[in-house]
Amino acid sequence: MRVHPMPIPRRPLRPALAALLCALWLGGCGYAMESPRLPNDRHSIGVAPIRNLTYEAELDVRLQEALRRRLYRDPAIRAAEPERSELVLDIELNQLSLVRVLDLNSTNVRLLTLGLGGIMTLRDTGTGALIFDRLPVLVSSRYELPESALETPALRDDALATVLSEFADQVVKQLLLTF
């Protein structure tokens, strides 16, 4: 004698799946991560040529590159030429200070402290309005050496790169801070 298994009743999957998705959707907490936004809900920004009023050569070129690298990191922000952008950022570097801490037993350097100051102006090209008008930007960085060393051009260049990186971070932070 052959025994036939009882057929298992099939329940429709679509209504169950729809109910599950609805429950997940309704059960969400409403938290969503916002991506950084530029002022006035603009999406493109151009960095005008930076004016370097300090005694140190090439700070303008190096800062321009550091700013572009930071702006390219965020896919919601489009870095463009100033002529084709919705916002234009103008920066003027007006002070660079360098303080050396020397080793007591020699003239070698133990620590370099750099300060970089400038102003930033942000203009909306669509309306012509100034969003930031000569906003001060000041940063300071310490470049410590594990042991005293002569101050070489490479050492000074590393210290400058550090303070320029911090300046670029501060500018981008101001751009995205309140918007």
| Of 117, 99, 94, the residue nearest 109 (C-alpha) | 99
Which runs of E-coded beta strand occur in the chain?
44-47, 51-52, 78-80, 87-102, 109-124, 130-149
Q: Residue 33 in contact with residue 76, Cβ under 8 Å?
A: no
Which residues are 92's β-sheet partners?
A: 51, 119
CA torsion sign, 85 to 91 to 136 to 164? positive
Q: Hey, where are the domains in the chain?
A: 41-177
In angstroms, the CA 40 to CA 43 distance is 9
Q: What pLDDT score was predicted for residue 32? A: 46
pLDDT, tens only, 46-83: 999 999 999 999 999 999 999 989 888 877 788 889 89
In angstroms, the CA 77 to CA 172 distance is 11
Which residues are 89's β-sheet partners?
A: 47, 122
What's the CATH number of domain 41-177, 3.40.50.10860, 3.40.1350.10, 3.30.160.150, 2.40.50.100?
3.30.160.150
The total of other beta-carbon atoms located within 10 Å of residue 45's CB is 23
Q: What is the mean pLDDT of the chain?
A: 80
Q: Residue 142 in contact with residue 112, Cβ under 8 Å?
A: yes
Q: What is the pTM of this model?
A: 0.74
